[in-house]
Amino acid sequence: DAKKLVRSPSGLRMVPEHRAARSPFGLDEPPWVPDKECPRCMQCDTKFDFITRKHHCRRCGKCFCDKCCSKKVPLPRMCFVDPVRQCAECALVSQKETEFYDKQLKVLMNGATFFVTLGTSDKSELMVCRLSNNQRYLVLDGDSHYEIEIIQISTVQILTEGFTPGGGNTRATGMILQYKAPGSEEVMQMKFTAGEDFSCNKKLSAAWLAAMHKATKLLYESRDQ
């Protein structure tokens, strides 16, 4: 998908030429709180003057003094080329998201193998499941081939085992995915189950499911924006 470099008051961004091609995990730039409505820092209440300058957080758009908005942190969800100024609260959120973009996104794109069951069928098919390079489709390959548009996914339920009353660790073993078929309001369902034989790497499948769980949270956040 073609991209273009654009400049906004917040900084340089590398964005898709067409909005329809944007990542389903992306966020729009927030509107900035107008300067005239912000005589004081929205965190510490310091009054702005010629010495104490005001700065806008690139993630939330609120107005802060330099002390409360000094960190420059990567913000890939808004396609910024370089790290941008963010308030302490937003910087913490963006730093946590960095792990998804640096590690878990690659896990999703590399894929993992699952037994996939359609709807209420009692038959399953061994398929390699991966996220497309443009992050917009979940691609399933086996004897059959499916491409599920990420924005059409309505719910994701991660299946686990190993929980004990004493608080023991759980292990992700599969997921139930619900989505709408293209051009239809009908909700479809797929069940993904990690294989128990040696041909299916349990550790890889569990890592893929954990990454999918994080991706789902980001997807929900993008929709709620």
Per residue in 99-121, pLDDT tens? 899 999 999 999 999 999 998 88
Which range of residues forms the domain containing residue 73?
Answer: 3-89
Say which amino acid occupies 206. A
Q: Are 113 and 218 in a shared domain?
A: yes
Residue 196 predicted with pLDDT over 60: yes
* C-alpha distance from residue 68 to each of 52, 91, 101 (Å): 11, 11, 26
Task: Answer yes or no: is 97 within a domain.
Answer: no
* Cα separation, 68 vs 208, whole angstroms: 37
**Tell me: the pLDDT tens digits for 69-91?**
999 999 999 999 999 999 999 99
Q: Are 145 and 62 in a shared domain?
A: no
* C-alpha distance from residue 5 to each of 8, 24, 29, 99, 145 (Å): 10, 19, 15, 25, 35
Q: Are 119 and 70 in a shared domain?
A: no
Task: Answer yes or no: is 104 within a domain.
Answer: no
CATH number assigned to the domain comprising residue 147: 2.30.29.160
Cβ atoms of 208 and 198 within 8 Å: the answer is: no
* Cα separation, 85 vs 82, whole angstroms: 10
- Report the number of distinct structural domains present in the chain: 2
